[in-house]
Amino acid sequence: MPDLHGLIYAYHSSSALGELVVPRTSASLPFCSRYRLIDFALSSMANAGIRDVGVIMQRDYQSLLDHLGSGKDWDLSRLSGGLCLLPPFGMHDSHFGEYNGCMEALSAVRTYINNIKQSHVVIFRSDLAVNLDLHEIFDSHLASGCDITAVCADCSLKGGSSKIRFVPDTPNTSKQMLFSGLGQKEALSSIEVYIIRKSLLVELIEWSRTNGKQHFHRDALAHYLDEGGTVGLYFHKGYTAHITSVSDYYSANMDMLNQGYRRDLFFDDRPIYTRGRSSVSTYYGDNASAKNSLVADGCYIEGELQNCVLFRGVRVKKGAKLTNCVIMQDSVIGENAVLNHVIADKYTAFSDGLVLSGSSVLPITVPKCKTV
């Protein structure tokens, strides 16, 4: 797909993610045993044949840099183009030091955007768990004749704080945008992925900058619609989750224990790529038990697991019982420890005999490198 360029927002982390985004941006949050959230945006682009992708960053992005590297795992390591990491080098005309909205972030990298060779740009959130057919979406965008197309989801849209919806005036176009979950039932929920003509994007960036506007939806897109613009609509029916809170993160990982949801997100035709890491096979002791759980390579399991998601290198010692837990890389669960509804960040350690119990609505979150 030579005429489509990728832009990924990776500059913002919701404060509702709490301790999970202290050491990282939400784009690099570990997900489903071996992936990071940004893998879904990058893989959707790679599978569609997009060969030039810019990642807009702001703060706490060392973990993201370590994960992305040169982009070779997504076939984006190239002598010309490929993966381009965009730190906040364009903040000379801002007094805040942080992006207050998408348009401010785009304005900060406007030199990069002006130099994009492709005539269309796909803008993608980095905190989405979704597998999009961007090739089909781009074809729909061109067929609609619209300068911008919004990807919308059905009622299975999970998590997130976005209330952006579009009211169709024809089956595939809209001239009205809503900013609340209330109101017209026929309105479609945006997952905040857009394909936009580059010339329109540049025009909206300049309008926002000139008028002191910072936000994509309530400023730039609202202005475009007020001026008589039309938004094309593409309806995505697969699994979609916005990860903007601890509850969202926990629920989305638990969803991956459901075969139907996994099938919606991971399939052979459009695989999800991630950074490669060689590990030995997971070891299960004589008295180990694992029921309805996802366990990555390199783990050492001597205890019991039920409804759990374990990342690489986790050790569960004898007598330990884990239920409804998300345990990240290289964590250690002590002997006879009992954990229920717990999210453990990387390199955490739990003492022998410890008992921790949260709930599905309010799971206990243990920060990175913490010993409990």
Question: Is residue 308 a contact partner of residue 326, using CB atoms and an 8 Å limit?
Answer: yes
pLDDT of residue 76: 92
Between CA 286 and CA 282 the distance in angstroms is 13
Give residue 359's domain range: 283-366
- What pLDDT score does 89 carry? 61
The answer to whether position 185 is within a domain reads yes
Same domain, 67 and 149: yes
Residues 85 and 173 both lie in one domain? yes
Measured distance CA(127)–CA(130) in Å, rounded = 9
274 falls within a domain: no
* pLDDT in the model for residue 95: 45
Count: domains in the chain: 2
The number of beta carbons lying within 10 Å of the beta carbon of residue 124 is: 28
Which residue type, as a one-letter code, is found at position 129? Answer: A
Phi, psi angles (nearest 5°) of residue 81: 80, -140
Domain co-membership, 260 together with 315: no
- Which residue is it, tokens 């993610």? 17
Which pLDDT tens digit goes with each residue over 224-275?
Answer: 999 999 999 999 988 999 999 999 999 999 999 999 999 999 988 999 999 9
CATH number for the domain that contains residue 239: 3.90.550.10
In angstroms, rounded to a whole number, what is the distance separating the alpha carbons of residues 86 and 110?
11
Could you tell me if 233 and 328 lie in one domain? no
Q: Are residues 325 and 195 in the same domain?
A: no
Percent of the chain, pLDDT > 90? 79
Please tell me the predicted confidence (pLDDT) of residue 131. Answer: 97
CATH number for the domain harbouring residue 306: 2.160.10.10
SS3 of 121, please?
strand
CB-based contact 36:266 (threshold 8 Å): no
In a domain, 107, yes or no: yes
Question: Low-confidence residues of the chain, pLDDT below 50?
Answer: 94-95
- DSSP string spanning 351-364? -TT-EEE--SSS-E
Sheet holding 321-323, edge to edge: 289-291, 304-306, 321-323, 338-340, 355-357
